[in-house]
Amino acid sequence: MSRDTAPLTLGGVVTRALSVWGLLVLLVLLIIVFSLLKPDTFLTYFNIRSILSNKSVQALAALSVFIPMVANQFDLSAGFNIGISQVLAIGLQGQGWPWWAAVFAVLLMGALVGLVNGTLITRVKIDSFIATLGTGTVLYGLNAWYTGGQQVLASLPDPFLAISGNLWIIPAPSLYALVVSLLLWIVFEYLPLGRYLYVLGASPRAAELNGISAKKYVTLAFIAAGTLAAFAGIVLQSQLQVGQSSVGQEYLLPAFTAALLGATSIRPGRVNVWGTILAVAVLAVTVAGLNQLGAPFFVEPLFNGSMLILAVGLAVQAARRRQRRGTEADQAAATASASSGAPVTE
């Protein structure tokens, strides 16, 4: 008997659909509500372009923390990585580096940060929270030392500024986020590397028994995460056109919120690419709508913090439901097999 042949009631179908597409439904409802409340300003090209351009760095940051999170590891250095990357991107050019060389050096630095994180976690056996918080704090100190607490100014060439420009009428940063999302979706849905990381996140012992090296794949995940965070910093600098040591850390909380909230949708119970992107969109639309309604400046951090708590709770509940459904399906299949004498088919 197949595990998926159990009959579904109408209520079960609706509940399942909402658990999979709940964030999309919420996003549509938010757009409708804010469009009705602010019909002259919310659903306009200028506002949509502003959301896509400004929140694309947040989407890249969320995808960055998502990668190691698949393996149940957490990268708290992502925000600090973005911060020092945006400073170095302009600082190196101010010292006479060609823009492409500065970009390459920043990406290489991001990969190195990821390598250090992966090594500390997989070889030194430091918990990912502590290891990445430590490297992030070191990055923050290096950033403050490099800038001296001052803004970094330089004349940036047009090719570098074009990184955050428009492709026809579409902001280029939103296209970067889309391309990265597609690549990660392919990796985690269709390639062995993605499946290995999911197995490592679900059961390190099972991964070890199947010959999946945590040292290799978790380190690769952190290298990819560090490189992506550095790229987010480059895009951010192309937008800001001034280096500030205080910029970057504010992207960490929304990034984790989006990745965890995304685990409640599309593939409920596990972090996934499109759930993360939907969560970024929900957060971006909500903040933009509240700002247009005249909400004070402190509403955004209050909202992000509350959403993080809610996201963790919902993600835990979704994971438990997923595990419970799997256990019940196994029990039902075993019972049916025992009563009929037929082998269980997966």
For residue 9, tell me if it sits in a domain.
no
Report which residue type is found at 304: N
For residue 206, tell me if it sits in a domain.
yes
Token duo for residue 246: 């205080």
pLDDT at 33: 96
Report which residue type is found at 146: Y
pLDDT at 313: 84
User: What 3-state DSSP class applies to 212?
Assistant: coil
| Short-list 90, 80, 88, 81, CA closest to 106 | 88
For residue 340, tell me if it sits in a domain.
no
Q: What pLDDT tens digit does each residue of the chain (346 aa) get?
A: 444 444 557 666 767 777 788 899 999 999 999 999 999 999 999 999 999 998 999 999 999 999 999 999 999 999 999 999 999 999 999 999 999 999 999 999 999 999 999 999 999 999 999 999 999 999 999 999 999 989 999 999 999 999 999 988 899 999 999 999 999 999 999 999 999 999 999 999 899 889 999 999 999 999 999 999 999 999 999 999 999 988 999 999 999 999 999 998 888 889 999 999 999 999 999 999 999 999 888 888 888 888 888 888 877 777 777 677 656 555 555 455 545 554 444 4
For residue 240, tell me if it sits in a domain.
yes
For residue 162, tell me if it sits in a domain.
yes
- Strands 170-171 and 166-167: what pairing? antiparallel
pLDDT at 5: 46
Token duo for residue 186: 């392919």
- Kindly give the residue spans of alpha helices, DSSP state H, lying in 241-272: 252-262
For residue 11, tell me if it sits in a domain.
no
**Residues whose CB falls within 8 Å of the CB of residue 278, separated by 6 or more in sequence, listed in order:** 23, 24, 27, 262, 265, 266
For residue 344, tell me if it sits in a domain.
no
For residue 127, tell me if it sits in a domain.
yes
pLDDT at 328: 57
Residue 296: give the domain boundaries: 16-326
Token duo for residue 331: 């029990």
Measured distance CA(168)–CA(146) in Å, rounded: 37
The pTM for the full model equals 0.89
**Count of domains in the chain?**
1
With beta carbons less than 8 A apart as the criterion, state whether 225 and 197 touch: no
